[in-house]
Structure 1
């Protein structure tokens, strides 16, 4: 009987307007605390992911991507880089190269990208900064790369998957007229909102959105590029040719 009496009393309390108001306040306060905790955890996760991405990008600072070089049986990718260096007016020796290899599985279509990791940053920069010289490559006797193929070669930073997607979105924003240019500089992502305007370094897709597309709706995000799109990635900025591939 006591149990039934207690149950009845509680039901009467729930019907009381003042009690309902107090209960709502208690629940609202508890939910606010939980919401704050969730927001804080999300912020910590975002910062951690950004930090991890930056560490991964830094680990790639000695690497470059070389695309457009035809594949041949039993080729030496080291020799390809050495010969491309000669054609661009840069001396690259096998000792300057830590490792080189093609990326991905051969499909019989476009040649796979070559990733080259240098042993020192200065030589990497010398090779990378000479990339425009390959527009009119120097003829090199005995080169494993023809001058015609060298002229179609594309040298770019090697950037993380997250940064690839951010630069892909930047290219979409350029097409929409929301920014003037976007490019990478030793893995650092940079944008310019208008011609002649200041250069802004961005660290994430969120920072890109804040700078170039503050009215963006999350449901309007473009789909991530396919692997094929990544291999053929071209930057938003026409005068600085750069690509990205993990």
Structure 2
């Protein structure tokens, strides 16, 4: 440590033992060590002038040395033997003036670009750490709220889509789709439909059909499908129960319920699962899709209603499909359901 005694020896070697000069060197050394600057940056002349104006000329160096050494805190390796802060001697007026001089010069030094550039990274790091401590809980809370909002949004969107799909399916309650009816030029679709449905209901008349027309495009040379809107729901139920008599090896015609695009997509994959012998049966009733599970020994299992494509045995869902399914309801067992 740069003490008054050391400062006095340095001045003796340089040819000057002025108390003010020695004390100035001591203050400069303290400021240089604190700020890591050159002495020229601390305005030595300003401290010398200040001390000359505020310290009496008859003040001896021994007085200043005694004051500085008495008030300088002693650091001990033993914490128990350290002098409490309250027992530190109060500096006298001369020391206070000297300390004020150092404080003034340090405040001037901190205004220089060199000092500001030197301490800016350290202050930035400290402020950043304190800001991070303060904002970390807020960021966590914001992220939790974002996740909760996203989950709620997905649930609401799923519920809204289900409700819209239910309403659309209800609008198709009296509709059926017939595939396999051959197309001919200038055909009357209604007459062909009545001819097919008479195999199920011989007494059917044109008044039982509100509307019928072809939809879609021909697939692999097959004719377009025909949508038929029946005048009553009871007529539709009778047709769906006896639809198997329509199909024949010579003229394959299939009658199915008119499903929404979403439910038709699900039913398509259930039929693939049935063809792969993963389930023992699949069908629809009033727009609802059912499967009969297959036991390990190949016998019939329980009947399940399929609400999502994720539930189909053998189907490999995408992560997005799994997410939407986890936010919705699981498979519902309906043991009372029977095949149509």
The verdict on a shared fold, with TM-score over 0.5 as the criterion, is yes
Cα distance in 2, alignment partners of residues 217 and 159 from structure 1: 22
CA distance change for structure 1 residues 193 and 106 in 2, over 3 Å: closer, same or farther?
Answer: closer
Q: Which has the higher helix share?
A: 2
Give the Cα–Cα distance (whole angstroms) in 1 for the partners of residues 144 and 280 of structure 2.
Answer: 42
Residue ranges of structure 2 left out of the alignment (5+ in a row): 1-110, 322-338
3-state SS of 1:91 partner: coil
The 3 A distance-change label for structure 1 pair 94 and 30 is: same
Q: Is the 8 A contact 2:247 2:254 kept in 1?
A: no
1:16-35 to 2 correspondences below 5 Å = 16=130, 20-35=132-147
Aligned counterpart, 2:301:
197
SS in 1 for 2:270: helix
1:90, CA displacement in angstroms? 3.1
| 1:234 paired residue number | none
Q: Which has the higher contact order (CA 8 A, sep 6+)?
A: 1
How many residues were matched structurally? Answer: 203
Structure 1's unaligned 5+ residue stretches are 137-146, 222-239, 242-246
Question: RMSD in angstroms over aligned alpha carbons?
Answer: 3.3
1:11 shift after superposition: 4.3
Counterpart secondary structure, 1:123: helix
Change in Cα spacing, 1:171 to 1:25, as seen in structure 2 (3 Å) is farther
Question: Match of 1:163?
Answer: 263
Q: Is the 8 A contact 2:280 2:300 kept in 1?
A: no
Q: Residue 142 of structure 1 aligns with which residue?
A: none
**Contact 1:81/1:92, CA 8 A, preserved across alignment:** no
Distance in structure 2 (CA, Å) of the matches to 1:182 and 1:108: 24
Q: Is the 8 A contact 1:69 1:111 kept in 2?
A: yes
Q: Distance in 1 between matches of 2:158 and 2:212?
A: 33
- Cα 1:37–1:203 change in 2 (3 A) is same
Given candidates 80, 97, 119, the residue that maps to 2:231 is 119
Whether 2:253 is the aligned partner of 1:187: answer no
Q: CA deviation at 1:99?
A: 0.2
| TM-score (normalizing by structure 1) | 0.70
Task: Specify the structure having the higher radius of gyration (Cα).
Answer: 2
Change (3 A) 1:171 1:84: closer
Tell me the residue number matched to 2:91: none
Q: Using the alignment, how far apart are the partners of 1:171 and 1:107 within structure 2? A: 18
Q: Mapping of 1:1-246 within 5 angstroms? A: 9=123, 11-16=125-130, 20-105=132-217, 109-135=221-247, 148-149=250-251, 152-174=252-274, 178-194=278-294, 195-206=299-310, 208=311, 212=313, 216-218=316-318
Q: Does the aligned pair in 2 maintain the 1:90–1:126 contact within 8 Å?
A: no
CA distance in 2 between partners of 1:107 and 1:170 (Å)? 20
